[in-house]
Chain A
Amino acid sequence: DTEVTQTPKHLVMGMTNKKSLKCEQHMGHRAMYWYKQKAKKPPELMFVYSYEKLSINESVPSRFSPECPNSSLLNLHLHALQPEDSALYLCASSQAAGKVKNIQYFGAGTRLSVL
């Protein structure tokens, strides 16, 4: 099973709302990622968790707050977002860094619209 599951598939929120994106994998991967992708652009890395600890934060605004409750789950908490934050948010997972075949497996994404 190489599946990464993201919920919800679509989300519409106002600028004052608080919402969360969820991601789950059961491949035993110890690294999990959040990416943001705008239309016709490649994915941009936001955060990486390694062994449930935040390993990389690509200078993401604090209105995005990641959380890794356990090795299978990754959340992205959203608060006071701006319309320009509307995008496809992708979760990925992989074996830990340094592994030879460090393939990243992606979920189908959450399409976020901020009104």
Chain B
Amino acid sequence: KQEVTQIPAALSVPEGENLVLNCSFTDSAIYNLQWFRQDPGKGLTSLLLIQSSQREQTSGRLNASLDKSSGRSTLYIAASQPGDSATYLCAVKEGSNYKLTFGKGTLLTVNP
């Protein structure tokens, strides 16, 4: 059974700092991996999706990498801003079915 772990569970940084969020998964036979952002009491916003054949994806100040063989993904946020404060979730999809397995998330606080 696939298990997804996110470390750290919470992170507090000063504004402007570059930071890395980590996601690991136990079964490397994934179809893709998706990073989401969730603001308190709100829905999830898709940030980046990396196919199993890809090594990284970039969107603005965000860069996500994927190392399937070691079961790891990282989300790099450059020049963090207070507006980046949210919970970041990673989720893996196994096979071409619909089901996502989510990690428990990292609660990020960026202090002005």
Contacts and interface: CB of A to CB of B under 8 A. Distances in A.
B102 interface: yes
Contact of A104 (B96, B97, B100, B104): B100
Contacts of A33: 98
A28 interface: no
Interface in B4-54: 32, 34, 36, 41-46, 49, 51
Contact of A106 (B44, B49, B103, B104): B44
Interface string B85-112: 0000101010011111011110000000
A42 B34 contact: no
Interface residues of B, number: 23
A94 B105 CA distance: 22
Contacts of A100: 51
Contacts of A41: 104
Contacts, number: 59
A56 B98 contact: yes
Contacts of B104: 41-42
A100 to B, nearest CB: 7
A92 B100 CA distance: 12
For chain A, give the interface size range: 20 to 34
B97 to A, nearest CB: 6
Contact of B46 (A31, A56, A104, A109): A104
Contacts of A101: 49, 51
A45 B41 CA distance: 18
A115 interface: no
A98 B96 contact: yes
Nearest to A41: B104
A43 to B, nearest CB: 6
B58 to A, nearest CB: 15
A6 B89 CA distance: 21
B25 to A, nearest CB: 13
Interface of A: 4, 6, 31, 33, 41-43, 45, 48, 50, 55-56, 88, 90, 92, 94, 97-98, 100-109, 111
Interface of B: 32, 34, 36, 41-46, 49, 51, 89, 91, 93, 96-100, 102-105
